[in-house]
């Protein structure tokens, strides 16, 4: 009788293990997406501050890539006296490559320089 129950436990473990691993992978991918979003927001804020000080677009791009990662891209735009920095990047990791998650962060500020 003990041998049958040991086999049942092994079979149940074999069935539940892939589900547990898939759940763990999804949790790790979600955490990676959260960390990436935080980095993008930090890069967009720093880029907007640099724009407000009067830095050029190349300097803003360098700041954004330093804070958000080398694969992040920044777009700078102006709307009257308002300056905008939009930073985009994909989620990294094994599931980030298979699921096309494109994350975006945007920061706006007024120019601090005269004219």
* pTM for the model: 0.80
Q: Name the residue with tokens 């803003």.
A: 60
Q: Using CA atoms in the order 106, 99, 73, 32, what is the torsion angle rounded to 10 degrees?
A: 70
- Over residues 23-74, the pLDDT tens digits come to 998 888 888 899 999 999 999 999 999 999 989 999 999 999 999 999 999 9
High-pLDDT (> 90) share of the chain, %: 57
Determine the angle formed by the axes of helices 2-53 and 57-68, rounding to 10 degrees.
Answer: 160
Q: Which of 11-15, 25-29, 100-104 has the lowest mean pLDDT?
A: 11-15
Q: Is the pLDDT of residue 6 over 70?
A: no
Higher pLDDT, 96 or 12: 12
In this predicted structure, what is the pLDDT of residue 5?
Answer: 58
In this predicted structure, what is the pLDDT of residue 11?
Answer: 78
Instruction: Copy the structure tokens of residue 70.
Output: 């080398």
High-pLDDT (> 70) share of the chain, %: 90
């Amino acid at each position: 009788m003990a041998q049958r129950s040991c086999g049942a436990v092994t079979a149940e473990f074999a069935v539940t293990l892939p589900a547990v691993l898939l759940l763990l992978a999804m949790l790790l991918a979600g955490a990676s997406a959260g960390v990436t979003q935080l980095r993008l927001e930090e890069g967009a804020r720093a880029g907007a501050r640099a724009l407000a000080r009067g830095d050029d677009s190349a300097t803003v791009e360098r700041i954004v890539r330093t804070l958000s990662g080398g694969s992040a891209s920044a777009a700078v735009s102006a709307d009257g006296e308002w300056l905008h920095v939009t930073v985009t990047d994909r989620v990294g990791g094994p599931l980030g490559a298979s699921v096309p998650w494109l994350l975006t962060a945007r920061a706006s500020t007024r120019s601090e320089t005269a004219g």
